[in-house]
Amino acid sequence: MDLEFSAQEQAFRDDVRAFLSDELPAEIAEAVRTGSELSKSDHERWHAALQSRGWLAQTWPAEHGGPGWNAVQRHIFEEEAALANAPRIVPFGLNMLGPVLIEFGTPEQQAEYLPRILDGTDWWCQGYSEPDAGSDLASLRTRAERDGDHYVVNGQKTWTTLGQHANRIFCLVRTRAEGKPQAGISFLLMDLDDPGIEMRPIRLIEGDHEVNEVFFTDVHVPAENLVGQEHDGWTIAKFLLTHERTNIAGVGYAVRGLANLRALAATTVRGGQRVIDDPVFAARVAELEVDLEAMAITNLRMLSAVQDGATPGAQSSMLKIKGTQIRQAINDLARRVLGAGASPFPFDVLGDDLALAPPEARANAAHYFNNRKLSIYGGSNEIQRNILAPQIMGG
């Protein structure tokens, strides 16, 4: 494959940069840069700016309201958006449920839900993980029993990201106990205002409220909210995870993180010299740069294959693992540069004078702690290695 972008792709990159310069609100970019928690209105404002250009539903075909981008265009946008400190597009309705409805939904479901995702009427969250069913998703126990024209749902979901902002949730539920665990799972759409649903916040180690746990007690869900066929939810789940993992390497975020690391090390002096001039530190940064370049090339190869109609295979698992390791290593090195300044909390060093860590320290502390999840979400790295083993080594 040609690893150089075409003239058309370079022109698209220039268009993306101009859009980000003109339309990304400075205060939102600064909040992203400093690791501050974004409000629902911040996300909605950014989504509205993208939708006004027709760039919000980036994985959707044009006939359903998407821009009709190919995989390389999505990669270019993701990289430029990360470098500009744009918020990550909230993926649950746009990048997860939308493609599922386009592939498996009825015409009525598509007409009902797709426009509401685009205009922001509906904010979706994901009900996959459970306290005893995370990486082993097939062991989920939330059950849905058919009762006339409804399903009655009981159980619990956890790690529900940004669920506090959502009005709807798509869930994997167990509709049959017999046979293989994967063969008894169905995919349901639910309204979070329905009686019997309770959401409780989970506070993360850096103090942010990003995730939640959700409890279902005799929740009645209309049968027409079933997506696809009953007991066929595992097929839909695998399709959704393929979309989730296509750009899971996070190349753009790693490029931005490495640039920030180099800038931080160039302005931090320790022992009479800049940290960037320390040969041991410089060697670590160089190793990361080599790893990142290799990952970027592998990512482009996979995107090229996807663009030609292939389904991501072993490469997506490799990219998930390597992308996780690189981004976490960047966070770790930045904390080493900052030293005591990397504390995520204010600390008292001069009696009554409260010294605060600089904004870049706050950002790195938030990213460091939050990015520990990268090893787990989208399929834990251990599971990815189990997927890779038979594909690469046989057996």
Catalytic residues: 244
How many other β-carbons are positioned within 10 Å of the β-carbon of residue 70? 14
Query: Are the CB atoms for 81 and 252 separated by under 8 Å?
Result: yes
Contacts of 315 (CB under 8 A, 6+ apart): 298, 301, 302, 305
H or E element in which residue 283 lies: helix 279-307
| Chain centroid to CA 19 | 22
Contacts of 250 (CB under 8 A, 6+ apart): 82, 323, 327, 374
Which segments of the chain does DSSP mark as H helices, in order? 7-23, 26-33, 40-53, 71-83, 91, 98-104, 107-118, 233-245, 251-267, 279-307, 314-338, 359-370, 381-388
Query: Are the CB atoms for 48 and 89 separated by under 8 Å?
Result: no
Give whole-number Cα distances, 135 to 106, 203, 364, in Å: 29, 21, 27
DSSP state of 187: E
Six-digit token string for 379: 């399929």
Beta strands in 111-184 (DSSP E): 124-127, 143-147, 150-157, 168-174
Six-digit token string for 390: 């038979």
How many other β-carbons are positioned within 10 Å of the β-carbon of residue 194? 15
Q: What are phi and psi of 67, to 5 degrees?
A: -80, -10
Six-digit token string for 357: 């860590």
| Chain centroid to CA 157 | 18
Q: What are phi and psi of 229, to 5 degrees?
A: -95, 150
Q: Is the dihedral of CA 65, 71, 76, 81 positive or negative?
A: positive
Helix (H, G, I), strand (E, B) or coil at 366: helix
How many other β-carbons are positioned within 10 Å of the β-carbon of residue 193? 8
